[in-house]
Amino acid sequence: MTTAFNTSKPPFNLLSPAELGVLQNNLDIAYFQAGEVIIKAGEPPEGLHILLKGRVAEEDEQDVARPEELRHTYVHYTAEDYFGAWSSMRGRAIHNFVAVEETICHILPTRILLELVDSNPVFGDYFRNSFAGRFQLRSNGNVSQDMTEFMLARVGDSCMREPLILLEGTCIQDAFALMRERKVDCLLVRRGGRYGMVTGTDMLTALLQQGLSAATDVADIASYRLIQVGHDEYLFNALVLMTEHRIERVVVKDDQELKGILELTDVLSYFSNHSHVLGLRIDRAQTVEDLEEVATGLNDLVQGLNVHGVKVQFAMELIATMNEKVMAKLFNLLVPEDIQPHVCLIVMGSEGRREQILKTDQDNAVLMRNGLSWPEKQSVLEAFSRILARFGYPPCPGGVMVSNPEWVLSLEQWTQNLRHWSQQASGDNLLRLAIAVDAHAVAGNAALFKAARNWFFREMSSNQIFFSHFARAALNFSTPLTFFGGIKNKEHGLDIKKGGIFPIVHGIRTLALEHKVLETNTFKRIDQLIDSQQLPEKLGLDLVHALGLFIQLRLQQQLERMKSEGASDKDANMLVVERLDRLDRDLLREALHVVKEFKQFLTQRYRLEG
């Protein structure tokens, strides 16, 4: 067993090398037998204890005297966990820390800990901060991680431009016209075996400041000291070169062969351009074939976003927008123009909430004006579903899509369904209702959808009994926490959808429906519920963090599995706790406690005792 101190784990990775040196020099190692009291309540602890091996329980003061089964243990600490920081900073422990098994740990003396906390505010904050504060820290860490991933992209496969190359002897006037034509701001000119670069600014300087004529050869004003990067160089290095030399362009070469030009603005707007361009292309698509090409491109975007570890909330928003654009465009292409004002395409479920990360099943429906006659309805809508499937949106296994006549309804039928489902709020009906509550309009006449939704809001308004039954589903699964408040972990992992995501999403859905919140996205619903004081602010913010964390951890492990073993869909929601680092595990535990608190809130709010 190694006794080396692992400095790569938070919070110790926040320390500078000099501070780490101080830390390493002052670390003690201590050994405790099972049952030995490591820190006694009411006494100052030796310092921060970092477990190397064994198990330590945090217990009530009086518990030492009691038989084991009567003790109240707050939490167990195992390898790589630490304890005693708070007690050290406070000068006195309020609980006993007792070795449950034979335990070896590093001890960072209180004096040194306090010095480090003083000298490094970020490190200090780590110990002082609440859950939300620590989450912030985690998010910041992630941003830099995103950047790193981004920087791993290579020059050749990103945003290099094809250069405009002119021969010696072209006059400035002609060169300028060509630049305008190609919509570039820079050209290369060849003089002998060398290339020179001329930019728009160079031309302006030559004409206005130096007083040269427009007939001057561009080769005379070109700069021949070009900075170049390799074709397979990291984008990051190109950026460093540009900043070092205070230039905005570099030439890309592959074995002395000129490949293109890399512009600073292109590098910086690498991401936004990527999706922006796609959005424009969707708008411009004239035929189904055009659209298909873009839709297939979306797959790359999705993968790219995931690989680059873009912040989950942002990625979800972006992907949902793109998916909706594709569907709306396809709908407009297929449905005759004279029909469009009388129908409305809605998306439902996670798509309606804009919370999918990968392309998910088609969950959609069509609302029609009462008494609309549209004979080709069935064939058109079947084509719609079929083409979407071709675009990479798998058909809904439950048949919730427009090719199924059950989901192509007149306003009257739709409201009748909603009423029926709400009166039989259990099983499949509850499922359908939950999907429908997350609906929002994507194409066609949105007024139809709004009429139905507002009617339903009114119909259900203050029906406490309905909301009580509706909310109950959020309590169907127990929160995976042990009696002592630790994470209940099984070998194959814990189901984070059942244990964390679903209770939050469904509970918030219920509250949103009751308070007529128009938003369908869970995060935005929470914001609005806090604004209208239907949800305590602290609980609401904790829920936002918790849900964000669950989704992010799930995605992280999904991607890991995809890389290594080619995971099946079955365990898409499984989180293997052992694979999380100490900080993530901490955050997960606290987030699950937030879920538990939220469930209690729902129980109280909707009378779900028993």
- Contact residues toward another protein (CB under 8 A) are 370, 410-412, 414-416, 419, 423-428, 430-431, 434, 448, 451-452, 454-456, 459-460, 462-466, 468-469, 472-473, 476-478, 498, 502, 506, 536, 601, 604-605, 607, 609-610
Region of residue 462 (phi > 0: left; psi between -120 and 50: alpha; otherwise: beta): left
Tokens representing residue 310 in the block: 């873009």
Tokens representing residue 327 in the block: 């569907």
Which parts of 356-401 fold into alpha helices (H)? 377-390
Work out the burial of residue 525: count CB atoms within 10 Å of its CB; fewer than 13 is exposed, 13-18 middle, 19 or more buried: buried
Identity of the residue numbered 402: V
Q: Between residues 311 and 593, which has the closer beta carbon with respect to another protein?
A: 593
Largest CA distance in the chain: 99
Distance in angstroms (rounded) separating the CA atoms of residues 525 and 530: 9
Tokens representing residue 426 in the block: 């259990």
Distance in angstroms (rounded) separating the CA atoms of residues 277 and 269: 11
In angstroms, what CA-CA distances link 270 with 130, 159, 279, 319, 325?
Answer: 36, 7, 15, 17, 21
In angstroms, what CA-CA distances link 43 with 71, 90, 95, 165?
Answer: 20, 11, 10, 78
Q: Is there a contact between 258 and 188 (Cβ–Cβ < 8 Å)? A: yes
Query: Which is it for the CA torsion 413, 419, 425, 430, positive or negative?
Result: positive
Task: Please confirm whether the linkage preceding 11 is cis (ω < 30° from 0).
Answer: yes
Q: Is there a contact between 86 and 588 (Cβ–Cβ < 8 Å)? A: no
Q: In this structure, how many other beta carbons lie within 10 angstroms of the beta carbon of residue 180?
A: 11
498-502: which pairs have CB atoms within 8 A and are 24 or more residues apart? 498/573, 499/592, 499/595, 500/546, 500/547, 500/550, 500/591, 500/592, 500/595, 501/547, 501/550, 501/551, 501/554, 501/573, 502/474, 502/477
Tokens representing residue 435 in the block: 């999907």
Q: Residue 276: enclosing H or E segment and its boundaries?
A: helix 270-284
**Helix pair angle (522-531, 537-564), 10° resolution:** 170
Q: Could you write out the DSSP letters of every residue in 483-551?
A: TTSSB---TT-EEHIIIIIHHHHHHHHHHHHHTT----SHHHHHHHHHHTTSS-HHHHHHHHHHHHHHH
CA angle 412, 510, 536 (to 5 degrees): 145
Q: How far is the CB of 290 from another protein (least distance, A)?
A: 36
Q: Is there a contact between 361 and 393 (Cβ–Cβ < 8 Å)? A: yes
